């Protein structure tokens, strides 16, 4: 058994264990993803290539649409493991939760958004943003915090130098840009490439390239689940590592064919070009280890945005033992 803190949960007397072994010995895992995103390509590869099954896991994927609802699902027992921004674990920790979430396997290691301009500009410079109307992401989320961090690095005060709009729900941001008169927007793939193909916008910069490595999207679980399901967490981490290595070793075109069932409304060529863009800038982590330097970068970004609620010790909120074991065994 790996070393994790012993947790006594006085308030919970009716624990429902969603992870249970069936008659064939397969362990069931309920997995909640914060949104359906091409950014999470290695996760879909693990599902489609059967890497979870190889580790004796039956994974039920649900999309919970938003950081708050994803963490609610995890903390309430509606999910065993969550794929969500690691900042959410800090928010929970700051609330003095008795059974907070532990980050154990990193999936993405950069920001995944791109800056789109309404008008094509081959000579784009960051100072061009000053005085513009900018459609940003929601306050407190990683896209917005990284976006503001990058802008400040380029001498731009997001709230003083831009006409910044942040009151649009995540799912409605693309539509708002398409139908509105905003000059710039921050979008994930494949939406960014689709907009460019359709002439609705032009990619002029990558926030992922500008911000450096950060534990952007991480698999996490409650301390109690980790302690009671040690082998299942280890098996899950092994499956993710297999997928990360497969993504690293295969072409964007091959990867796109594998994950196409998760993005049926997106053309295969757009999937491939978007995956290639993420691969080329190192967005997909090639192993599950969340190192301390990345964690400190995350805290700096949150602090700069005024969203770091309290100190978030790496040794409390990150467990790298599963990832380290996986790598040492390969």
Indicate if the pLDDT at residue 263 is higher than 50.
Answer: yes
Predicted local distance difference test score (pLDDT) of residue 25 = 80
Do 107 and 247 contact (CB within 8 A), yes or no? no
Predicted local distance difference test score (pLDDT) of residue 249 = 98
Predicted local distance difference test score (pLDDT) of residue 330 = 83
What is the percent of the chain with per-residue pLDDT over 70, rounded to a whole number?
93
What does DSSP assign to residue 155? T
Q: How far is CA 218 from CA 124, 174, 316, in A?
A: 32, 24, 15
Q: Name the pLDDT band for 5 (thresholds 50, 70, 90).
A: very low
What's the CA gap between 283 and 318, in Å, rounded?
20
Which among 91, 140, 165, 66 has a CA at the least distance from the CA of 301? 140
If you average pLDDT over residues 311-323, what whole number do you get? 97
If you average pLDDT over residues 144-155, what whole number do you get? 96
Task: Give the pTM.
Answer: 0.90
Indicate if the pLDDT at residue 3 is higher than 90.
Answer: no
Indicate if the pLDDT at residue 46 is higher than 70.
Answer: yes
What's the CA gap between 149 and 215, in Å, rounded?
15
Indicate if the pLDDT at residue 92 is higher than 70.
Answer: yes
If you average pLDDT over residues 186-202, what whole number do you get? 96
Which of 42-46, 89-93, 165-169 bottoms out in mean pLDDT, i.e. has the lowest? 165-169
Omega prior to 137 cis, within 30 of 0: no
- Token pair 């489609």 in the structure block, residue: 48
Indicate if the pLDDT at residue 184 is higher than 50.
Answer: yes
Predicted local distance difference test score (pLDDT) of residue 24 = 58
What's the CA gap between 197 and 83, in Å, rounded?
30
Q: Helices 41-48 & 252-259, crossing angle to 10 degrees?
A: 60
What's the CA gap between 136 and 113, in Å, rounded?
11
Predicted local distance difference test score (pLDDT) of residue 11 = 35
Q: Name the pLDDT band for 214 (thresholds 50, 70, 90).
A: very high
Predicted local distance difference test score (pLDDT) of residue 171 = 86
Indicate if the pLDDT at residue 18 is higher than 70.
Answer: no
If you average pLDDT over residues 197-218, what whole number do you get? 96
Buried b (16+ CB within 10 A) or exposed e, 21-52: eeeeebbbbbbbbbbebbbbbbbbbbbbbebb
Strands lying side by side in the sheet with 101-108: 57-63, 27-33, 81-84, 217-222, 101-108
Quote the tokens at residue 323: 């990832």
Predicted local distance difference test score (pLDDT) of residue 173 = 95
Query: What is the per-residue DSSP string for 120-145?
Result: --TT--GGGGTT-EEE---TTSHHHH
Indicate if the pLDDT at residue 216 is higher than 70.
Answer: yes
Predicted local distance difference test score (pLDDT) of residue 64 = 96
The mean pLDDT value of the chain amounts to 92
Indicate if the pLDDT at residue 272 is higher than 50.
Answer: yes
Q: How far is CA 230 from CA 33, 103, 134, in A?
A: 21, 14, 45
What does DSSP assign to residue 320? -
Predicted local distance difference test score (pLDDT) of residue 163 = 97
Predicted local distance difference test score (pLDDT) of residue 19 = 40
If you average pLDDT over residues 113-126, what whole number do you get? 96
SS3 content of the chain, % helix, strand, coil (to 5): 45, 15, 40
Indicate if the pLDDT at residue 4 is higher than 70.
Answer: no
Predicted local distance difference test score (pLDDT) of residue 138 = 87
Domains of the chain: 27-110+214-328 (3.40.190.10), 113-211 (3.40.190.10)
What's the CA gap between 26 and 19, in Å, rounded?
10
What is the percent of the chain with per-residue pLDDT over 90, rounded to a whole number?
88
Predicted local distance difference test score (pLDDT) of residue 281 = 96
């Amino acid at each position: 058994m790996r070393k994790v803190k012993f947790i006594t949960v006085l308030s919970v007397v009716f624990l429902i264990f969603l992870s249970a072994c069936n008659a064939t010995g397969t362990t069931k895992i309920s997995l909640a993803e914060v949104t359906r995103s091409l950014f999470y390509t290695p996760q879909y590869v693990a599902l489609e290539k059967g890497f979870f099954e190889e580790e004796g896991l039956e994974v039920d994927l649900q999309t919970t649409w938003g950081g708050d609802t994803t963490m609610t699902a995890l903390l309430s027992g509606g999910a065993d493991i969550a794929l969500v921004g690691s900042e959410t674990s800090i928010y929970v920790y700051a609330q003095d939760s008795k059974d907070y979430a532990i980050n154990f396997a990193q999936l993405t290691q950069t920001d995944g958004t791109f800056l789109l301009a309404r008008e094509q500009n081959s000579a784009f410079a960051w100072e061009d943003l000053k005085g513009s109307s900018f459609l940003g992401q929601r306050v407190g989320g990683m896209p917005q915090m990284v976006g503001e961090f990058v802008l400040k690095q380029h001498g731009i005060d997001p709230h003083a130098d831009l006409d910044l709009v942040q009151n649009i729900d995540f799912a409605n941001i693309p539509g708002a840009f398409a139908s509105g008169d905003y000059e710039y927007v921050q979008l994930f793939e494949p939406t960014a490439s689709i907009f460019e193909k359709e002439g609705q916008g032009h990619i002029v910069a990558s926030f992922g390239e500008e911000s450096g490595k950060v534990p952007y999207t991480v698999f996490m679980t409650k301390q109690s689940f980790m302690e009671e399901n040690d082998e299942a967490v280890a098996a899950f981490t092994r499956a993710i590592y297999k997928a990360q290595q497969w993504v690293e070793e295969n072409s964007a075109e091959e990867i796109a064919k594998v994950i196409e069932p998760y993005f049926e409304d997106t053309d295969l060529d757009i999937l491939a070009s978007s995956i290639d863009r993420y691969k080329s800038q190192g967005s997909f982590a090639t192993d599950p280890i969340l190192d301390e330097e990345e964690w400190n970068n995350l805290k700096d970004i949150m602090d700069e945005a005024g969203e770091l609620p309290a100190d978030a010790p790496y040794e409390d909120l990150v467990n790298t033992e599963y990832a380290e074991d996986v790598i040492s065994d390969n």
